[in-house]
Structure 1
Amino acid sequence: MNATPIALLCKPVLIALVALLAACGKEAAQLAAVEPDQGTACALDGMVLKDYPGPKAQIHYKEGAPEFFCDLVELFSMVLAPEQKRPVAGIFVQDMGKTDWAQPSGHWVDAKLAYYVVGSKKTGSMGPTFGSFSSLPDAEAFVAREGGTVKRFEQMTLDMVSQPGKGAAHEDKMH
């Protein structure tokens, strides 16, 4: 049986599509969060992540190894910096609704999908910091206990980074 011209054209297209989907799957797998080990240090100040309370973060760049941060204020100072030019493939933060503030471990979520609490009483490695949560109810419950205001990733600003314990602390609703 002879193949039709359409069948001859479809086979290479189908092979290319399968290869493309496989490549996407590999890229997505590369974007999984990495659990820091006992000696993983902060990219900005060299502090060992496991030695400090509060949520940690990691940035995966399109090229090179991921960078880790011992505090979300440090993460946002890096992400929001006007001189930040390295192409970012993914950013992860810990879900504090699922891990212990004093010794956070695991529970990484996409930073761009997380809810952040700005202006709470809780501190991290460098003093006042932000809390990160995968769900709005967990973030709101944290605000009820610790104070602060819920924000989304795109609402975070350099002003909040320069004064993490102030700024939005007295607002009473999410904007």
Structure 2
Amino acid sequence: MTDHCFATDLTRRRLLSGTATTVTLSTVGLAGCLGSEIPEPIALDGDQHCDQCGMVISEHPGPAGQTYFEGDLPEGRDGPAWFCSSKCTYNYEFDMEDRGETTQVTYLTDYSAVDYGVEGEGDSLVITAHLAADAFADADGLVLVAGSDVEGAMGTALIPFSDADDAEAFAADYGGEIVSHAEVTRELLAGV
């Protein structure tokens, strides 16, 4: 007896391919309806002033950051809050969360994605700044080296990497402890 489940010329591969396409299109469509599109990072190489401390971002070394909030923050700006350092990024974010604001996404300089340098500046070592939009990555996917001998705009920096091996190599050269984005706390920032 012949199985007549597929009265048309529909093969298993075509069925699965069509199902996968339908699921993908449905997911994309649903994401758009729910407003869950995550805004992209922007370049911070203009004359932007840090929303935490007021310093001109492009005039300082080290990792920079930007955070999009679900509300109208910073008030009147169509875009993210921007920061001269990873420390300012986290401090501002913690302050806003204390006020009941919700973070949509935080971007930090990804030192796995750029050709960075560590240079002497006075008695200190500083890591170069990278402010193009493609130098930033979602902080959720980064590991950070905290408490190394390398500084950024606000002194000792949290140096972010998307590749854990890069973070380990950096820590082997310059010291520091490797932490995830989720492990960054006010207490950690105060101790760095």
The answer as to 2:96 corresponding to 1:88 is no
Deviates more, 1:80-89 or 1:128-137: 80-89
Deviates more, 1:91-100 or 1:120-129: 91-100
Residues 101-129 of structure 1: CA deviation (Å, up to 9, x unaligned): 32313321111111010110111111111
Cα distance in 1 for residues equivalent to 2:89 and 2:50: 10
Deviation beyond 6 Å, 4+ runs, structure 1: none
Residue of structure 2 equivalent to 1:128: 156
Residue of structure 1 equivalent to 2:119: none
Cα distance in 2 for residues equivalent to 1:60 and 1:80: 13
Equivalent of 1:114, from 116, 135, 142?
A: 142
Cα distance in 1 for residues equivalent to 2:174 and 2:62: 13
CA spacing shift, 1:135–1:22, aligned 2, 3 Å: same
The answer as to 2:116 corresponding to 1:102 is no
Residues 135-162 of structure 1: CA deviation (Å, up to 9, x unaligned): 1011111101111011001111211111
Return the structure number with greater strand share: 2
RMSD value, Cα: 2.2
Cα distance in 2 for residues equivalent to 1:50 and 1:158: 25
Cα deviation for residue 84 of structure 1 reads 4.0
The aligned length equals 147
TM-score, normalised relative to structure 2: 0.69
Cα distance in 1 for residues equivalent to 2:99 and 2:178: 25
Residue of structure 1 equivalent to 2:80: 66
Residue of structure 1 equivalent to 2:168: 140
Cα distance in 2 for residues equivalent to 1:35 and 1:52: 15
Equivalent of 1:57, from 65, 76, 89?
A: 65
Any gaps of 5 or more consecutive residues in structure 2? Answer: 1-25, 73-78, 117-126
Contact conserved, 1:78 with 1:84, CA < 8 A, in 2? no
Percent identical among aligned pairs is 23
Any gaps of 5 or more consecutive residues in structure 1? Answer: 1-16, 165-175
